[in-house]
Amino acid sequence: AQKVTQAQTEISVVEKEDVTLDCVYETRDTTYYLFWYKQPPSGELVFLIRRNSFDEQNEISGRYSWNFQKSTSSFNFTITASQVVDSAVYFCALTPAGSSASKIIFGSGTRLSIRP
| Residues found near another protein in the complex (CB under 8 A) | 33, 35, 37, 42-45, 47, 50, 91, 95, 97-104, 106-109, 111
Nearer to another protein, 47 or 57 (CB): 47
Nearer to another protein, 68 or 91 (CB): 91
Q: What residue spans of 21-109 are helical by DSSP H?
A: none
Q: Are 51 and 64 in contact (CB under 8 A)?
A: no
Task: Residue 74: count other Cβ atoms within 10 Å of its Cβ.
Answer: 16
Nearest distance, CB of residue 44 and another protein, angstroms:
4
Nearest distance, CB of residue 54 and another protein, angstroms:
13
User: Would you state the torsion angle of the CA atoms of residues 22, 16, 56, 32, taken in this order, to the nearest 10 degrees?
Assistant: 50
The full length of the chain comes to 116
Nearest distance, CB of residue 3 and another protein, angstroms:
12
